[in-house]
Amino acid sequence: METFLLANRWLHITAGFIGFFVAPAALYVRKGGPAHRRWGQVFFWAMVVAGSTALVAASLKGLTFLLLTGIFSLYLAWFGYRSVYHKRLSRGEARAGLFDWAGVGIGTAVFAGTLLYGLLNLQTNPVPVVFGGIGLMTTLRQARAFRRVGPWPAGQWLLNHISGFVGSYIAAVSAFSATTLTFIPFPLNFLWPTLVMVPPMIWVQRRYKKQFAQGQHPEKLVEVRIQPELA
């Protein structure tokens, strides 16, 4: 068992470091271009591995907060990745499938539990309240979008894509900070990535919204290539 846990730990660390350095590359290159898609896919699978290994370690060691944090990162990575395939939903040409509803349902249950866990331990650990609240708002907003009749607001799938991947990256940096940057006091060691990265993300999203309001189509701002059967 010790050998398995050690291998799981190193796999987690390796995947986390890959995601840590690859995400800025995906953000730097042209959005939707070949390099963006390539680095974005590397980041997504790195987060899948990092999140999955975190779940394994948390389950075997009985670490509730690590378990919830791993699911938080996994869900946001899935949310950002899957949002690219919601173009037809955003145009009102299709409805959400079982896969989408299952993801939202699991995410809602987990984040509600995270928020409750945080409220019950508020005096000793307020971080789950922040992560659980953000996650719950994300899943409930997405559920409302899936139930919406007619087109979504212009470019909503793109804004969701940004929120998901940036949110997953924030979770990864938060975990790195909490375990490595020991000179930062708790709970700031968990929360500073959120405080630093969310404002620029909101600024970018508002800039896109302004362009959409002026009549620019999302497909003109970013390159999006999706297999027809997955669109």
Report the C-alpha gap between 3 and 20 in whole angstroms.
25
For the chain, the domains span 2-89+151-230
**At 231, is the pLDDT very low, low, confident or very high (cuts 50, 70, 90)?**
very low
**At 38, is the pLDDT very low, low, confident or very high (cuts 50, 70, 90)?**
confident
Q: Is the pLDDT of residue 155 over 80?
A: yes
Reported for 48-53, long-range contacts at CB under 8 A and 24+ positions apart, including other chains, are 48/74, 48/77, 49/11, 49/12, 49/15, 50/12, 50/15, 50/16, 50/19, 50/172, 51/77, 53/8, 53/9, 53/11, 53/12, 53/15
The predicted model scores a pTM of: 0.85
Scan for tokens 């940036």, then name that residue: 166
128, two tokens: 């789950």
Mean pLDDT, rounded, of the chain: 84
pLDDT at 220: 64
Give percent above pLDDT 70 in the chain.
Answer: 93
pLDDT at 66: 73
pLDDT at 225: 56
